[in-house]
Amino acid sequence: MKCAVSKRIFYSLLICFFALLQLSAQQKSIQGKITNEADIEGIHVLNIASRFNTITNENGHFSINVKPSDTLLFSSIKYMPEKVVVTEAIFEKGVITVKLSELLNELDEVFLQPNLSGNIAADLKKIKTEKPINFDDVGIPGFKGKPEEKIVPLYFAVTPLSVNLEALYKHISGYYKTLKTRRKWEYENNAVAQMLNYYTVPFFTTTYGISENRVYDFLLFCTETTSIESDFKNEHYGKVLLVLDEKAKIYNERIAGENKE
């Protein structure tokens, strides 16, 4: 009897696995456009499910890989974050248009103290604002709490004495993999928002020549390719500035190459 039940469970999981494989095969690239009139270049577009991401060009156009029911997250310093679900109609048509809501934000007055040393990292610590900037202030989504769901390791999901069917299914279906990816992106977003709050957008535009609408993308590029996130968290500001200097050259060359194409 137990053997028959185990076989049924095995075949059920096998059917679910192949169904998920068939669903993943439905992925394709769609074309999109931001319909706002101004500041439509450099808007970050993220597929939350797969973590495919891209940015819009000077005309607000972009392309991104999606599957039906995926959710696209649009974020920019100038606009409120916007989530759009890829419906069957959008997927079949292969085209999506989005109009974002403008972010109206006034920064608190900044008071500069006298006797600045010329050391950027040290002087920035002396600059005080009445209210810290958070994710919502700069129009960037971010994770604001500890993850509630525990990811069960595979070696705990299947043991000689028991099988955690829910955890096993989440491993087979890729749910845990997607969850880990989403959390990683949220942590990186958190770091980007904190660095924007600490250094401010004008610092990046003036010091490194990064255009205002690409500062967010530049910082995300840095967090994904270096240890800048941990350096900033541990207040190793000298290392942070070295990373910014190195990556700004690479990033600007990449953008220049894209503009020539």
Query: What are the extents of the domains in the chain?
Result: 1-103, 105-138+140-261
Residue found by looking up tokens 């500062």 in the block = 215
Q: Which CATH class is domain 1-103?
A: mainly beta
Which pair of structure tokens corresponds to residue 232?
A: 């900033």
Q: What gap in Å lies between CA 147 and CA 166, rounded to an integer?
A: 18
Q: What does DSSP say about strands 95-98 and 28-34: parallel, antiparallel, or unpaired?
A: parallel
Whether pTM > 0.85 for this model: the answer is no
Q: What gap in Å lies between CA 124 and CA 199, rounded to an integer?
A: 7
Q: Is residue 142 a contact partner of residue 135, using CB atoms and an 8 Å limit?
A: yes
Taking only the tens of pLDDT, the chain with its 261 residues reads 545 545 555 555 556 555 555 555 578 889 999 999 888 888 888 888 877 788 888 889 999 989 998 999 888 777 888 889 999 999 999 999 999 888 654 444 444 555 555 555 565 555 554 455 555 555 555 545 554 677 778 767 777 777 777 877 777 777 767 666 666 666 667 778 788 878 888 889 899 998 887 888 888 888 878 889 888 888 898 999 999 999 999 888 887 776 665
What is residue 162's predicted lDDT score, i.e. its pLDDT? 76
